[in-house]
A and B are shown apart, each in its own frame.
Chain A
Amino acid sequence: MTMKAIEVRGLTKTYPGGIRAVDQVSFWVGEGEIFGFLGPNGAGKSTTILMLTTLATPTAGSATVMGYDVTTNTDAVRRSLGYVSQDLAVDDSLTGWENLYLQARFYGLTRDEMRRRIPEVLDMVGLTSRARDLVETYSGGMRKRLDIAAGLIHRPKVLFLDEPTLGLDIQTRREIWDYITRLREESGMTIFLTTHYMEEADRLCDRIAIIDRGSIKAVGTPSELKSTLGGDVIVLRFGGTDAGVAEALARIRALPGVRDVARYGDDYRVAVQDGESTLPQFFAATQDGAAPIVRVSINRVTLDDVYLSFTGRALRDEESSREDALQQRIRMRRVRG
């Protein structure tokens, strides 16, 4: 069994005012793993990251990073980890090189180490030719790459990537994915990433945890999680009255092999063991009802389905402070460079 890079036990954070952002969360991340932390906004992802990176103190429970306790051994934890927040935390009034120099100083690198590491990480994210330019002339994607480079300057054992591709265009997003996979291949680094792009999680992560309303709903490899829902998703649309639809759905739920029903706009996504053999039964069960099936398709289960089945279907009204909203807007402007 490999060593655990991160181990979390009963971690809880209650903010003043009684809001329990994280409630009794437990999970572990193996060394060298890419671990995805998924959940809607406000589910507790950011708070968990803040506690693991020593930026917030847990109310209860414990967590270790590379064996060091995040509350009692903060200095060792900080040395072990690299933190790339979703903020694009690079200083626009410095050059790319100066940003990395400052970061290297913060981590106590010697002059020799700096001379080696700064060109190395610049090269890795493809910013060598722009290193002497002020960051205010960079695009959003370049800023993100510089921020990742800064997170790598001290060769951390564990890299925290909070929403690494938020707001980036598809080309840049793929580029960032390449960096992440290369990092793991070349350095065996443990990577903890949060995202709410399911495609990203499915493609990059060895294992995934889904968190909602402060607690972990599921942990496993993407294929394990998908198999909990069965193999296929049948997407249905009904004609007829709401009452008729409700009755039809009740009949469908009662059929053998039906795992989960999720509403998605006008469509209903029904997770089943085996789509081809189950679909005819759907027609048989609903043909004499008030809401006939008018459209149908069979799809493989995706991580989207798993996510929706664990986090619920309703649209979320996010609670957010004025300062949070402002920060979010600044972030989006900067990422679009």
Chain B
Amino acid sequence: MRTRLAADVYSVFWREMKRFWLQKPRIVVSVIQPAIWLGLMGNLMGGLLDKPMAAAVLGTGNYLSFMTAGVMVMTTLFGGVFGGVSIIWDRRLGLLNKMLAAPIARAAIPVGKALAVAVQTSIQVALIALVARLLGVAFVTGPAGVLMAIGIAALFSVIMSSLSLILAARLKSHEALFAVVNFLTMPLMFTSNAMFPTQTMPGWLRSIAAYNPVSYAVRPMRQLVTGGWDWTVLGQDAAVVAAMAALMVILAVLQYRKMVA
């Protein structure tokens, strides 16, 4: 039964990846967009760094270095929350029923799709690391740090795509899913530490930012870019992200197991 599940997960994953490679424009855009973000924000905020206090708050003399982790997580967040869209298409085209009529493990559907999103995210984050490097941002933790950042991003994408897959199973239309997802992403982004240092936030916002799941992903990734191998930060935050990912996968599996059509 366990090998069966693994085989089914791989089938779903294989199909998603086949479709991913066909979408060349999407892959190109996923690199250009973060490059623009980095370039734009880096220039906008450049003046900030004349003030010595700002550099202390950012933890680095370079706003681009500060932003790199934020842009990586933003890309991951957007990639993840749209992970449920493919389920809605599968339902409309009858492909979901075709899978459900086959003797596959129901759990394979969300797990395979979330896994595909995680791999696609990893590719994108690796490309962002490359773009950032070209713009002069080097991970102080080196290639091993880049790999760990990719791992955290992949786990974070699992949280978001599982959520999206759960919503897609219940909402059944693109419009409803987009509405809910848009309602969620912007607040998640701007109440986190992704774009701006929390030190400059008002107290109430800072406490939201402290518990925002986005912050848990950004913090260790930023640590890897600008800080160094400090396991008290890295270990704790990465563990929280991993635990949330596991929880969301379990919820998604339960949702799809009770879904018959």
- In whole Å, how far is B9's beta carbon from the nearest beta carbon of chain A? 11
Out of B92, B99, B261, name the residue touching A327 (CB < 8 Å).
B92
What sequence of 0s and 1s flags, for each residue 139-166 of chain A, a beta carbon within 8 Å of any chain B beta carbon?
Answer: 0000000000010000000000000000
Cα distance, A79 to B104, chains bound together (Å): 10
Q: Given the known A-B contacts A105-B7, A326-B92, are A89 and B98 also in contact in the complex, defined by CB atoms under 8 Å? A: yes
- In whole Å, how far is A107's beta carbon from the nearest beta carbon of chain B? 6
Q: Is the CB of B18 within 8 A of A89?
A: no
Out of B14, B95, B99, B103, name the residue touching A108 (CB < 8 Å).
B103
In the assembled complex, A94 has its CB within 8 A of some CB on chain B: yes
- In whole Å, how far is B206's beta carbon from the nearest beta carbon of chain A? 43
- In whole Å, how far is B54's beta carbon from the nearest beta carbon of chain A? 47
Q: Given the known A-B contacts A55-B97, A98-B18, are A78 and B102 also in contact in the complex, defined by CB atoms under 8 Å? A: yes
Q: Which residue of B lies closest to A80 (CB)?
A: B103
Q: Is the CB of A56 within 8 A of B261?
A: yes
A-B contact count (CB 8 A): 79
Q: Is the CB of A89 within 8 A of B261?
A: no
Cα distance, A99 to B103, chains bound together (Å): 17
Contacts of A102 in B (CB 8 A): 11, 14-15
Cα distance, A314 to B141, chains bound together (Å): 76
Cα distance, A331 to B93, chains bound together (Å): 7
- In whole Å, how far is A301's beta carbon from the nearest beta carbon of chain B? 36
Cα distance, A54 to B94, chains bound together (Å): 15
Interface residues of B in 1-42 (CB under 8 A from A): 4, 7-8, 10-11, 14-15, 18-19, 22
Contacts of A276 in B (CB 8 A): none
In the assembled complex, A75 has its CB within 8 A of some CB on chain B: yes
In the assembled complex, B53 has its CB within 8 A of some CB on chain A: no
Q: Which residue of B lies closest to A87 (CB)?
A: B94
Q: Which residue of A lies closest to B8 (CB)?
A: A106
Q: Is the CB of A93 within 8 A of B101?
A: no
Cα distance, A326 to B92, chains bound together (Å): 8
Q: Is the CB of A81 within 8 A of B22?
A: no
In the assembled complex, B239 has its CB within 8 A of some CB on chain A: no
Contacts of B10 in A (CB 8 A): 105
Contacts of A322 in B (CB 8 A): 173
Contacts of A326 in B (CB 8 A): 92
Contacts of A86 in B (CB 8 A): 94
In the assembled complex, A238 has its CB within 8 A of some CB on chain B: no
Main secondary structure of the interface of B (DSSP, over half): helix
In the assembled complex, A57 has its CB within 8 A of some CB on chain B: yes
- In whole Å, how far is A50's beta carbon from the nearest beta carbon of chain B? 6
In the assembled complex, B247 has its CB within 8 A of some CB on chain A: no
Q: Is the CB of A108 within 8 A of B4?
A: yes
Q: Is the CB of A89 within 8 A of B94?
A: yes
Interface residues of B in 233-261 (CB under 8 A from A): 260-261
Contacts of A89 in B (CB 8 A): 93-95, 97-98
Contacts of A79 in B (CB 8 A): 103
Q: Given the known A-B contacts A106-B8, A106-B11, are A88 and B18 also in contact in the complex, defined by CB atoms under 8 Å? A: no
In the assembled complex, A330 has its CB within 8 A of some CB on chain B: yes
In the assembled complex, B100 has its CB within 8 A of some CB on chain A: yes
Cα distance, A107 to B11, chains bound together (Å): 11
What sequence of 0s and 1s flags, for each residue 82-93 of chain B, a beta carbon within 8 Å of any chain A beta carbon?
Answer: 000000000011
- Of the candidates B10, B94, B97, the one having the most CB atoms from chain A within 10 angstroms of its own CB is B94
Q: Is the CB of A107 within 8 A of B94?
A: no
Contacts of A35 in B (CB 8 A): none
Known: A56-B261, A89-B95. 16 other contacts (CB 8 A): A56-B260, A78-B103, A79-B103, A83-B101, A86-B94, A87-B95, A89-B97, A93-B19, A94-B15, A94-B19, A103-B102, A106-B8, A108-B103, A150-B98, A323-B172, A334-B93
| A interface residues (Cβ-Cβ under 8 A, vs B) | 50, 53-57, 75, 78-79, 81, 83, 85-89, 91, 93-94, 98, 102-103, 105-108, 150, 322-323, 326-327, 330-331, 334
10 closest Cβ pairs, A-B complex: A87-B94, A89-B94, A106-B102, A78-B103, A83-B101, A105-B11, A89-B98, A55-B261, A93-B19, A85-B94
| B interface residues (Cβ-Cβ under 8 A, vs A) | 4, 7-8, 10-11, 14-15, 18-19, 22, 92-95, 97-104, 172-173, 260-261
Can you offer 25 A-B residue contacts whose CB atoms are under 8 A? A54-B100, A54-B260, A55-B101, A55-B260, A56-B260, A57-B260, A78-B101, A81-B101, A85-B98, A87-B93, A88-B93, A89-B95, A89-B98, A91-B15, A91-B93, A93-B18, A93-B22, A102-B15, A103-B102, A105-B7, A105-B8, A106-B99, A106-B104, A107-B102, A323-B172
